[in-house]
Structure formats: structure tokens, C-alpha cells
Amino acid sequence: EVQVVESGGGLVQPGGSLRLSCAVSGFTFGSSWMSWVRQAPGKGLEWVANINQDGGEKHYVDSVRGRFTISRDNAVHSMFLQMNSLRADDTAVYYCARGGWPPDFWGQGTLVTVSS
Amino acid sequence: DIVMTQSPDSLAVSLGERATINCKSSQSVLSTSNNKNYLAWSQQKPGQPPKLLIYWASTRASGVPDRFSGSGSGTDFTLTISSLQAEDVAVYYCHQYYSAPLIFGGGTKVEI
């Protein structure tokens, strides 16, 4: 059974940092692109970033480029999203998803709230 | 960036009736190298994460009922639910994966 579990969300002040983690099981992680997709409260889906199998190719949406860094550790079947210089408009549920083109299986998400 | 425009924003359909959702991309998502449309549809039920329904514009993902079908090519696409069931109440998103950034449409809310 495919499982994707996000963690690391929470309340952070504007300008602060947070690191999200995504632990997976039930599929060959090292052979899979992975993605982060977010959803602001009451809004639609927004793709954030994806990363290829060995971490050598990464893509970002313009609004997070330079502030967020996607990474992965195939040895522990995990993906990460380091989020710096957080802004109020980064407030959202962040979903980890298997696949990059397109994402094809999402976790339950972790809520990130940026507020003072 | 490719812009994805969905219509309508919402629709109400009777049980057993057909639901049709349209999606238009600002540029073609058809690859000339493999003749595939890089267009997917996902479903998000209330309080749940999204679920992939359709990829390559018309290929159903594993386990998706055959009442869901996708069609179209180039810039114009359609998701059809042939006979709406109560469990199909959800928001449906088209999204292109032809190039980064991947872009989702604004969503279409389907109600009974």
C-alpha cells in the first residue's frame, strides 16, 4: 500500500523558517519523481516544486524560488521542503505527492500558518 | 507560464445525469515528439487530498470508475462524468505537466 506522510507544519512568524518532511512507503521511492503542492485555505491547488529521482533536477514555482529548497534522501525514503523567509501568503496545507509529471498520489497534507 | 482556465466554476447535476467540465490551456500541451497531451484531471473531495483521475488527457488512473472520461487535444479538454453518483461530489482540477511550472486550473465544484 502506497503511503505518503507529511510532517513539520505549524505556526511560524513572517520571515521565519520551517522544514517539512515527507516519509513514504509502498513504492520504489528512489525511482520516483516527487512533488510538493500547496492549497491556501479555501483556495485551489498550487504546485510548488518537484525533484527528480537522484535530486539532481529540481523545479520551482516563481513565488518560492530562492526561498524554498526541495531535497530528498533516498536512503531513508524521505523528501523535504526547507522554507525560509516565510510570508503570510505561504499559509497553506502543503501536500507531498509521488510523481512529478504529473503528481499521482498525495498525502494528507500538513498545515503551515505564517502569522505574527 | 501556461495558464489553465476551467469552466464552469461550479455546476449542479442530478444523480445519474451527465456532468461536463471544460479546461483550456493558453498554449498547446501536445508534444509533437510522442503525440501525447500532458494534461491531467484530479478530484478533491471535501476534507481530503487530491486524487489523480486522468492523465495523458484520456487515460484513467488505476481504480478510477469508467464513468469518468477525458477527451480533447492541444489546448481544449473535457472531463465527463457520464452518470453522476453521490460520491462524485467534489472539486475537479485540470493541470498541465507539459512544462514547469506545473499549473492547475481554478477548479470546478460539482454538486448534486
pLDDT in tens, A23-72: 999 999 999 999 999 999 999 999 999 999 999 999 999 999 999 999 99
Rounded CA gap, A37 and A47, in Å? 4
Helix (H, G, I), strand (E, B) or coil at A75: helix
pLDDT in tens, A92-102: 999 999 999 99
User: Which residues on A lie below 8 Å from B23 (Cβ)?
Assistant: none
A103 touches chain B (CB under 8 A): yes
Q: How does residue A3 score in pLDDT terms, banded at 50, 70 and 90?
A: very high
B92 touches chain A (CB under 8 A): no
pLDDT of residue B12: 97
Residue B57 confidence (pLDDT): 98
Q: Is the CB of A27 inside 8 Å of chain B's CB atoms? A: no
How many whole angstroms separate alpha carbon A49 and alpha carbon A82?
A: 11
| Residue A60, amino acid | Y
Give dist(CA B22, CA A38) in Å, integer: 23
Res. A5 pLDDT band, cuts 50 70 90: very high
What is the Cα–Cα distance from A7 to B97, expressed in whole angstroms? 26
Instruction: Render pLDDT for A6-17 as a digit per residue (tens, 0 to 9).
Output: 999 999 999 999
The CA distances from residue B29 to A25, A88, B18, B101, in Å, are 32, 33, 26, 13
Give the pLDDT confidence score for residue B83 in this predicted structure.
96
Reply yes or no: is the peptide bond before residue A14 cis, omega within 30 of 0.
Answer: no
Separation in Å, CA of A15 to nearest CA in chain B? 24
Residue B104: which of A45, A100, A106 has the nearest Cβ?
Answer: A45
To the nearest whole Å, the CA of A103 is away from the closest chain B CA by 8
Dump pLDDT digits (tens) for A74-86: 999 999 999 999 9
Do the beta carbons of residue A11 and residue A115 sit within 8 Å? Answer: yes
pLDDT band at A22 (very low <50, low <70, confident <90, very high): very high
Give A50→chain B minimum CA distance, Å: 9
Q: What is the pLDDT of residues B20-64, one digit of tens each?
A: 999 999 999 999 999 999 999 999 999 999 999 999 999 999 999
What local confidence, expressed as pLDDT, does residue B27 receive?
Answer: 97
Mean pLDDT of B58-77: 97
CA distance B100 to B1: 8
| Cβ-based contacts of A45 with chain B (< 8 Å) | 42, 44, 50, 93, 95, 104, 107
Mean pLDDT of chain A: 97
Beta-bridge partner residues of A19: A82
Radius of gyration of chain B (CA): 13
pLDDT of residue A114: 98
State the pLDDT at residue B96.
Answer: 97
Question: What pLDDT is recorded for position A20?
Answer: 98
Contact A102 B97 (CB under 8 A): yes
From residue A55, alpha-carbon distances to A71, A72, A78, B53, B100 in Å are: 6, 6, 12, 27, 16
Sign of the CA dihedral with B100 first, then B101, B106, and B110 last: positive
Instruction: Please give the Cα distance from A45 to A92 (Å, whole number).
Output: 10
Which of B1, B102, B104 to probe the A interface (max A CBs under 10 A)? B102
- Closest C-alpha among A65, A56, A74, A115 to residue A91: A115
